[in-house]
Chains A and B, each alone.
Chain A
Amino acid sequence: MKTIAQSAGLVLALAAVLPRPGVAQDPRLDRLTADARTLVAPIIDSAGAAGLPAEPLVNRALEGASKGAPAPLIATAVRRLAADLGRSRDVLGPAAGAAELAAAADALRAGASPEVLRRLRDALGSRRLAVPLGVTADLTSRGVPADTAATLVITLARSVEDAQLLALQREVERDIALGAPPLAAAAGRLGAEALAASADVVNTAGPGTPTTRAPRKP
């Protein structure tokens, strides 16, 4: 009987000190008010249990805290982001990393459909998608239709590196800032890049050589 009592006491003592699955552990959340922490911690915890990255959610909560947002608003924002990350993961698959999921969530929030994300994923194969998805999200939030943004990114991402993709995004944004309609700015760049690509192919491909285009260096 004494053994049972000792064992039960040991179990209770350990249960008190071991981390519990229902409580988010990130010490940065201490910056939130107690109310906000109580609302946010279970959301982050559930997302983690579902295999979603905690970092974007913690950052969103911290942003709310720094901006003095009330606890329910912080919780709503974190919950909404978790839902977007979940939708992104459904499209991109369980192997997608945190940066890819965050960029895809931005693209969804900017107005891209899951189908657009799926097109990007299928077209770009094993390439890391964080930058292509981010460029799609940013162009879409600048007013470029999501389909056009995705087509532009897919066309270029097959042959250029991340840095060139980001440079193209800046060029489209500059054109928009100079007054070009977003669709025209993207289509113009797409046309220019397509022309450049075909010129490269004509210049480099002899008879019998594969018609692929070497990545251009910045």
Chain B
Amino acid sequence: MLEREDELVTRVAAELKRPVHLDSALDARVMAEVRSQARRPRVWWLRPRTFSLTPLGMLARAAVLAAIVFGATLAGSRFRPAPDAAVAVAQPGVSFVLYAPGAHSVALVGDFNGWDIAATPLQATGSSGAWVVSVPLPPGRYRYAFLIDGARWLADPGAPRAPDDDFGTPNSVLTVGT
């Protein structure tokens, strides 16, 4: 058993000791590649450089990197819409109707248009005194009110009243289900 193992070791050692003959053109091919790399024009930002850093300098650079990462994370997370907040998907319109005879203008103002008094004007339907507008709204809960003639705030008489009245004028609440 031992003799067979010795013989195997001897054969392996002999194989490893055999000189390796390389292709005679190898040297030429390697040198040609090296020369071509040396001739290739290199832009300044690809040239290798050596920097020396003091510990304080390293700390300062680390602080800069941390500030960049923190800033990017903060900017990405802030004011991100919540999972069930308004999603910009077209929904069937919700009709808002107000009977306001004698009004010159009526606007719908609320959470869905950033409380912009110019964003959603209602249209008068002939001389009936009814004003209407249809707004596509995704599922959610919205506070809103009507603004008559740019001066008088009015809650929707046909909708639940918002429980709070922080600014002295009542609002209505609309819940759009899924």
Contacts and interface: CB of A to CB of B under 8 A. Distances in A.
Interface of A: 3-4, 7-8, 10-11, 14-15, 18-19, 21, 24-26, 28, 48, 53-56, 58-60, 62-67, 69, 73-74, 76-77, 80, 97-100, 102-103, 106, 109-111, 128, 130-131, 134-135, 137-138, 140-142, 161-163, 165-166, 169, 173
A64 B166 contact: yes
B82 A73 contact: no
A58 B80 CA distance: 13
Contact of B175 (A25, A109, A161, A166): A166
Interface in B103-141: 109, 111, 114-117, 139-141
A141 B161 contact: yes
Q: What are the 10 closest A-B residue pairs judged by CB atoms, nearest first?
A: A98-B82, A7-B60, A162-B177, A97-B84, A77-B166, A18-B71, A110-B163, A138-B160, A62-B115, A66-B115
B74 interface: yes
Nearest to B83: A97
A161 B166 CA distance: 32
B68 A14 contact: yes
Contact of A59 (B114, B161, B168): B114
Given A25-B78, A99-B140, A130-B139, 7 more contacts: A19-B74, A21-B74, A54-B78, A64-B166, A99-B84, A99-B141, A163-B177
B97 interface: no
Nearest to A7: B60
A18 B177 contact: no
Interface in B50-78: 53-54, 56-57, 60-61, 63-64, 67-68, 70-71, 74-75, 78
